[in-house]
């Protein structure tokens, strides 16, 4: 029952589902035999027993009080959009207003109303619903902090930050030829001593430590703004509360993001370990219009340049259906601009039935052609900012993985700004750079003209390292 959990509610007496008509913005009925998007609600967790229910279009379920009917018309949640959820161990729930009145599904007009008399039991009655969890896929910073609550989350994150990445990891990176770390941070780092709820302080201290350790081992740092206010892609690693993307539709969020860039640039521009600042990670092509993104990138570039004439300004391609040339043609800035591309043979049905040979050939034919074309274009430097030695191939041998990793290293080494591996440490071994190197699944080649570098994550659940190769 974390933030973003998707649920469906079925009346045990009517045997129909609670539905927000038109997906939100209208009345609520209890009249659907088969659930789909109108019958699916995303939870906003207020406490262990109090929740708000958001529709697929973004409105919240709301009820004025005793005797009232529930509608899906509230644009933002408050007390009248908050419900107590009582559960038993058999998937049944009751919904209760803050005033103590229980909701029920009425057979008259199939409405959801706040007028059940007394306290319902768990037998078949109008106030009892079966709750199905449709999806529970968000496990990011927001879910951790709001789920645990401030004090417990602070304890968990302090233990994590003190143990997950240490100075010994920078020793490992240095021994393996890694020369740079790309460090993902969340926007709340700019307010670290008292960040907005539910976020927890401590990430700025961790970033300061990373810069000190990097300097000790002659390693450079890229600060990557991985999570913007409102979320730029709806994924958990952008700290989305419920899977929605609200960054580009909020001028206040964009303005606040620029303030974060100013904070980072002013604090770290003169640090000898700084290599560059990435203005935004993985904006969504489906939800972030190009003109809004380009305007933000241009303003972010100017902010960084106010504090440094040499720091690289890194701009990330939109994820989804987007052509990287859209960034090349934007004229974001005049010097030290880098375009970040993320290459995964995953997350797309295109790769599902590929053999190991097919995957390797795709790297050489498709990826290499794009890298070469962009290298030769009149635009930013090219950075393969994320890739991984993993695919959809089942039961791949060690040799298969070695060949796949070798192909990626050969092609991505040619990028004019280099590459970054996601990630240093991970609970999935093939995503774990350290495991790949130590177990000889990824064979780094060191020479006088080939240098590797790493990127380290210090945010909540984004607990990993990214490796970057700069030629």
Listed residues 78, 103, 135: the one ending a domain: 135
Query: Do 273 and 380 sit in the same domain of this protein?
Result: yes
> Given the structure tokens 């161990």, which residue do they identify?
89
Low-confidence ranges of the chain (pLDDT < 70): 445-471
pLDDT for 446 equals 52
Residue 408 domain flag: yes
Query: Do 128 and 39 sit in the same domain of this protein?
Result: yes
Tally of structural domains, the chain:
2
- 385's tokens: 């900012």
CA distances from 16 to 38, 54, 92, 444 (A): 13, 19, 14, 58
**Hey, is 27 helix, strand or coil?**
strand
pLDDT for 452 equals 36
Beta carbons of 466 and 422 less than 8 angstroms apart: yes
Residue 457 domain flag: no
pLDDT for 392 equals 93
Torsions phi, psi for 74 (to 5 deg): -80, 130
Pairing mode, if any, of strands 129-135 and 92-97?
antiparallel
Partner residues linked to 452 by β-bridges: 178
pLDDT for 263 equals 98
Query: Do 11 and 99 sit in the same domain of this protein?
Result: yes
CA distances from 398 to 345, 395, 440, 441 (A): 17, 9, 8, 6
pLDDT for 329 equals 85
CATH number of 326's domain: 3.20.20.80
Residue 375 domain flag: yes
Residue 466 domain flag: no
DSSP state letter for 310: S
pLDDT for 324 equals 87
- Tell me the pTM: 0.92
CATH number of 57's domain: 2.80.10.50
- 185's tokens: 């941070």
Query: Do 259 and 342 sit in the same domain of this protein?
Result: yes
Domain holding 231, by residue range, is 141-439
Listed residues 98, 114, 135: the one ending a domain: 135
pLDDT for 378 equals 84
Query: Do 182 and 66 sit in the same domain of this protein?
Result: no
Query: Do 289 and 254 sit in the same domain of this protein?
Result: yes
Listed residues 70, 105, 135: the one ending a domain: 135
Q: From the CB of residue 87, how many other CB atoms can be counted at a distance below 10 Å?
A: 13
Residue 460 domain flag: no
Query: Do 188 and 251 sit in the same domain of this protein?
Result: yes
pLDDT for 445 equals 67
Query: Do 39 and 84 sit in the same domain of this protein?
Result: yes
Q: Where are the beta strands (DSSP E) in 307-435?
A: 312-316, 337-342, 381-387, 418-422
pLDDT for 153 equals 96
pLDDT for 390 equals 96
Query: Do 129 and 176 sit in the same domain of this protein?
Result: no
Residue 69 domain flag: yes
Query: Do 321 and 338 sit in the same domain of this protein?
Result: yes
Query: Do 124 and 24 sit in the same domain of this protein?
Result: yes
Residue 15 domain flag: yes
Pairing mode, if any, of strands 17-20 and 50-54?
unpaired
pLDDT for 224 equals 97
For residue 376, what is the enclosing H or E element? Answer: helix 368-376
Residue 358 domain flag: yes
Query: Do 98 and 164 sit in the same domain of this protein?
Result: no
């Amino acid at each position: 029952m974390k933030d973003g959990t998707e649920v469906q509610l079925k009346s045990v007496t009517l045997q129909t589902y609670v539905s927000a008509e038109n997906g939100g913005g209208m009345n609520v009925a209890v009249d659907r035999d088969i659930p789909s998007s109108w019958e699916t609600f995303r939870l906003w967790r207020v406490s262990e027993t109090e929740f708000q229910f958001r529709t697929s279009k973004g409105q919240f379920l709301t009820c004025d009080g005793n005797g009232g009917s529930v509608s899906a018309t509230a644009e933002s949640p408050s007390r009248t959009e908050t419900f107590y959820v009582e559960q038993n161990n058999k998937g049944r729930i009751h919904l209760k207003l803050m005033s103590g009145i229980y909701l029920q599904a009425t057979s008259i007009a199939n409405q959801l109303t706040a007028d059940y008399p007394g306290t319902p039991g768990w037998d078949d009655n109008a106030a009892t619903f079966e709750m199905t969890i449709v999806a529970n896929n968000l496990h990011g910073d927001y879910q951790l902090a709001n789920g645990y609550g401030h004090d417990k989350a602070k304890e968990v994150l302090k233990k994590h930050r003190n143990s997950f990445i240490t100075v010994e990891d920078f020793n490992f990176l240095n021994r393996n030829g890694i020369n740079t770390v790309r460090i993902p941070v969340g926007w709340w780092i700019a307010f670290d001593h008292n960040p907005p709820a539910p976020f927890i302080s401590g990430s700025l201290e961790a970033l300061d430590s990373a810069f000190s350790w990097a300097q000790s081992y002659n390693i450079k740092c890229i600060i990557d703004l991985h999570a913007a206010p409102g979320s730029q892609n709806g994924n958990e690693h952008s700290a989305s509360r419920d899977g929605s993307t609200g960054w580009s539709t909020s001028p206040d969020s964009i303005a606040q993001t620029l303030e974060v860039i100013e904070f980072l640039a002013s604090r770290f521009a003169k640090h000898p370990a700084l290599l560059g600042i990435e203005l935004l990670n993985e904006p969504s092509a489906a939800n972030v219009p190009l003109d809004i993104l380009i305007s933000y990138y241009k303003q972010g570039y100017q902010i960084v340049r106010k504090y440094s004439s040499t720091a690289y300004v890194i701009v990330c391609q939109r994820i989804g259906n987007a052509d990287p040339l859209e960034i090349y043609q934007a004229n974001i800035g005049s010097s030290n601009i880098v375009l970040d591309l993320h290459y995964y043979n995953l997350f797309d049905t295109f790769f599902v039935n590929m053999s190991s040979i097919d995957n390797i050939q795709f790297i050489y034919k498709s990826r290499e052609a794009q890298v070469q074309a962009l290298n030769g274009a009149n635009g930013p430097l090219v950075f393969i900012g994320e890739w991984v030695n993993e695919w959809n191939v089942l039961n791949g041998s060690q040799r298969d993985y070695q060949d796949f990793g070798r192909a990626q290293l050969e092609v991505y080494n040619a990028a004019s700004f280099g590459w970054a591996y996601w990630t240093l440490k991970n609970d999935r071994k093939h995503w774990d750079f350290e495991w790949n190197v130590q177990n000889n699944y990824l064979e780094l080649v060191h020479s006088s003209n080939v240098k590797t570098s790493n990127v380290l994550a210090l945010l909540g659940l984004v607990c990993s390292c990214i490796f970057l190769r700069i030629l």
